[in-house]
């Protein structure tokens, strides 16, 4: 009897954890990567309404120097007020949860002066949490950490 219970417990454990071992749908990873490309294009063209369309209404962001923003409109305003910079995110890894409609993206980011090209003034690492709502992947949270600076950006103060 004890062996049967143990066997059932082991099988139940394997079956319940199998959902976490299934690879994510390749389409989900491709959709998130495509969304990031599209958002980068919107950032570069200064189309802030399109940039904001990738965020949930209650998005939470920690910017590269530690400033926090809550909500789509606050984040959108921050982009439009930062008129001298254009930012780019370059994903390295996207992992989609096989059980819940949640994904994690990590990569590098850089900030350039608008219409100046050249080397970035700021750069660092980021992570993002994506949530799938219906058939759309949206960003719930982003964390950016500035790891290098150049020129005038080196004099910008971090949030204490």
Domains detected in the chain: 23-155 (3.10.450.50)
Q: Tens digits of per-residue pLDDT, 82-112? A: 878 899 999 999 999 999 999 999 999 999 9
pLDDT of 64? 95
pLDDT of 7? 43
Q: Tens digits of per-residue pLDDT, 110-155? A: 999 887 767 899 999 999 999 999 989 999 999 999 999 999 999 9
* Buried b / exposed e along 58-96 (16+ C-beta atoms within 10 A): ebbbbbbbeeebeebeebbeebeeeeebbbbbebeebbb
pLDDT of 87? 93
Q: Which residue, 51, 89, 93, 95, is CA-closest to 73?
A: 51
0.85 cut: is pTM over it?
no
Q: Are 63 and 69 in contact (CB under 8 A)?
A: yes
Q: At 80, is the secondary structure helix, strand, or coil? A: helix
Distance CA 9, CA 122 (A): 52
């Amino acid at each position: 009897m004890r062996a049967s219970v143990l066997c059932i417990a082991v099988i139940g454990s394997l079956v319940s954890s199998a959902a976490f071992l299934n690879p994510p749908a390749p389409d989900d990873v491709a959709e998130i990567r495509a969304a990031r490309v599209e958002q980068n294009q919107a950032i570069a063209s200064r189309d802030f309404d399109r940039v904001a369309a990738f965020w949930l209404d209650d998005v939470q962001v920690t910017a590269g120097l530690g400033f926090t923003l809550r909500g789509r409109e606050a984040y959108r305003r921050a982009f439009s007020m930062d008129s001298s910079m254009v930012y780019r995110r370059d994903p390295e890894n996207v992992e989609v949860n096989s059980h819940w409609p949640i994904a994690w993206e990590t990569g590098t980011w850089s900030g350039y002066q608008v219409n100046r090209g050249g080397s970035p003034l700021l750069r660092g690492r980021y992570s993002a949490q994506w949530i799938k709502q219906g058939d759309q992947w949206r960003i719930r949270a982003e964390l950016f950490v500035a790891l290098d600076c150049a020129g005038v950006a080196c004099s910008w103060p971090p949030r204490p």
